[in-house]
Amino acid sequence: MKADHAQVERLLKTARGQIDGILKMVEEDRYCLDVSNQLMATQSILKKANRMVLRAHMDCCVREAAVSGNPDEKLEELKLLLDKLTD
């Protein structure tokens, strides 16, 4: 993985902490919209981490494949990933 490991790790640990907090909220039968807001905040952090990983992949792996004259495999991988992101 070519993304900044420290930043990605920090984001993932933050998301993990939020998920632990959300589980506690559910156990405590907290207000639905409060739980939902925390879920959306966690999703936002995970999206940010994923965006960092994907950008690093494009800046390094896809760029290297393009420079080597063989980008087809990496581009196909990105197409498949985009299909997953838009489902």
CA–CA dist 58, 6 (Å, integer): 19
Question: Where in the chain are the domains?
Answer: 5-86
Closest CA to 16 of 36, 45, 51, 40: 45
Q: What is the pLDDT of residues 37-77, one digit of tens each?
A: 999 999 999 999 999 999 999 999 999 999 999 999 999 99
What are the Cα distances from residue 27, in Å, to 4, 23, 24, 53? 35, 6, 5, 33
pLDDT value at position 81? 92
What pTM value is reported for the model? 0.85
pLDDT value at position 59? 92
**For residue 31, is it left (φ>0), alpha (ψ between -120 and 50) or beta?**
beta
**Which CATH code is given to the segment(s) 5-86?**
1.20.58.1000
What are the Cα distances from residue 15, in Å, to 8, 31, 59? 11, 20, 25
Residue in this structure with the two tokens 């992101």, named with its chain if needed: 85
Closest CA to 1 of 60, 46, 86, 44: 60
